[in-house]
Structure formats: structure tokens, C-alpha cells
């Protein structure tokens, strides 16, 4: 589904990685690792199409993502470092507007249901500014619950700030997505969290080749 051909990343005049080749089939999880500054987030942003690759090509279903345009946006969910929440909007409104941009129409009830399942019962009307870091993260994860039909998930440190219950919940969510034939790309420092998904893991470590 997702292919990287000879991808290179140059940030601030430094080559972070080059000649990166990788193939992720349907139902697989690409787990990107590397020391701080190795280019993990840059790679994720390249996979989303936010950052053009300095060299090489990234293909989705055999087509360069640059040519796919908005069609790719329909097939992709990206959760970045920031939770992408508006402080003045409630959790429900945040979730609804995020899904609408991703091409999904979500009713208030569906949004509330997803928030409850994500471990935020009764918090739907709370403005995002009153949510803790972990709770903000959970609102972002509620979007994944609603996006099971979206094939590609790109998650930047999704386990950050989550408690153990939410970590387990996210793991089972990822597993369900992979079983459905989805593709997940994520960075994570936590080792244990993904043990259950071992057979579907495609490991990728950045920063090993000499600069």
C-alpha cells in the first residue's frame, strides 16, 4: 500500500537520512524509531505530504502522493505532536470539525459516543482549554475511533501523555485497524506498548547510516 523509494530528508542544510526504502503492505504497522533529531517527525510529515521529500518518491496504492491531492486527504488521518484542538471549542465541536475536514460527517451523538469510548464520559461539552494533556490526547484519539474506514493512519508519538488504560485501548484500536487491512505509521518511544502487534510490525530505525 505504502512505498518509500530512495527517500531523503534535508533539514537546515543537514541530511537527516537518505536512500530510505521501505514497503508497508495492507494490515502492517510501520514503526519509526530513532534518537531525537533523527528525522522521525519529518518522515511522518513526508508520508502525509506536508513536507516534500528532498529525493525519492512516496507512493500510496502505487501512485505518488503528490499527484493524489485531496483524494489522499480522504484516505489519511494524521495526528501530530499538537493535539490540533481549539481551546475555545468543546471536545464535541473539535471532534466534529476535525472529522468534517477529513471528509466525514459526524453527528453530535456519534461524537459524544466516540468521546465516551475514548475514556472521556461527560466531558463532551467541556472546552478544550479545561482538559488535561492526556485528555486532549484522548480527544484526538477519539477521531481514530470514528475513522476506522480511513485506511492510512499516521501518528506522531500517539502514546505520549496517555495512562496505561488508554495505552491498552489505543493498542487494541490499532490492532483492529490492522486486521481490517489498514496501514499505520507511527513513532513511539514506548517499547512494551506494541508487543501484541509484533507479527504485523515493520521496524524502521533512522539515523544508523553514517552522515
Please report, as ranges, the residues that interact with another protein according to CB under 8 A.
48-52, 69-71, 73-74, 76, 78, 80-89, 93, 96-106, 110, 113, 117-119, 141, 145-146, 148-149, 166, 169-170, 172-173, 176
Distance CA 50, CA 66 (A): 10
Distance of closest approach, residue 114 Cβ to another protein, in angstroms: 8
Rank residues 18 and 104 by Cβ distance to another protein and give the closer one: 104
The residue (of 149 and 209) whose beta carbon lies closer to another protein is 149
Q: Which three cell numbers stand for residue 39?
A: 528525522
C-beta of 10 vs 201, nearer to another protein: 10
Q: What is the b/e burial string over 3-39, where b = at least 16 CB atoms within 10 angstroms of the residue's CB?
A: bbbebbbeeeeeebbeebebebeeebbbbbbbeeebb
Cβ proximity to another protein, 66 vs 205, nearer residue: 66
Q: How far is the CB of 189 from another protein (least distance, A)?
A: 20
CB 51 within 8 A of CB 12: no
User: In the bound complex, what is the minimum distance in angstroms from residue 208's beta carbon to another protein?
Assistant: 25
Q: Give the integer Cα–Cα distance in Å for 158 and 17.
A: 23
Q: How far is the CB of 173 from another protein (least distance, A)?
A: 5
Q: Is 116 buried (19+), middle (13-18) or exposed (0-12) by CB count in 10 A? A: middle
Strand partners, 204: 32
The three grid cell numbers given for residue 32, joined into one nine-digit string? 519509526
Distance of closest approach, residue 204 Cβ to another protein, in angstroms = 22
Which residue, 118 or 206, has its beta carbon nearer to another protein?
A: 118
Amino acid at each position: 500500500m505504502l512505498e518509500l523509494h530512495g527517500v531523503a530528508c534535508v533539514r537546515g542544510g543537514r541530511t537527516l537520512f537518505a536512500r530510505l526504502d521501505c514497503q508497508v503492505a495492507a494490515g502492517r504497522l510501520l514503526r519509526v524509531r530513532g534518537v531525537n533529531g533523527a528525522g522521525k517527525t519529518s518522515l511522518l510529515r513526508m508520508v502525509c505530504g506536508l513536507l516534500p521529500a528532498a529525493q525519492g518518491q512516496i507512493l500510496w496504492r502505487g501512485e505518488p502522493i503528490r499527484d493524489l491531492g485531496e483524494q489522499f486527504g480522504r484516505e489519511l488521518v494524521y495526528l501530530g505532536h499538537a493535539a490540533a484542538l481549539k481551546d475555545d471549542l468543546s471536545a464535541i465541536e473539535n471532534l466534529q470539525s476535525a472529522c468534517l475536514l477529513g471528509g466525514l460527517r459526524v453527528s453530535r451523538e456519534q461524537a459524544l459516543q466516540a468521546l465516551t469510548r475514548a475514556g472521556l464520559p461527560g466531558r463532551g461539552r467541556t472546552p478544550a482549554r479545561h482538559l488535561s494533556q492526556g485528555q486532549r490526547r484522548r480527544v484526538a484519539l477519539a477521531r481514530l475511533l470514528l475513522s476506522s474506514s480511513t485506511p492510512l493512519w499516521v501518528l506522531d508519538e500517539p502514546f505520549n501523555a496517555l495512562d496505561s488504560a488508554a495505552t491498552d485501548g489505543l493498542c487494541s484500536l490499532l490492532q483492529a485497524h490492522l486486521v481490517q487491512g489498514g496501514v499505520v505509521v507511527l513513532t513511539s518511544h514506548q517499547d512494551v506498548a506494541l508487543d501484541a502487534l509484533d507479527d504485523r510490525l515493520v521496524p524502521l530505525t533512522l539515523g544508523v547510516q553514517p552522515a
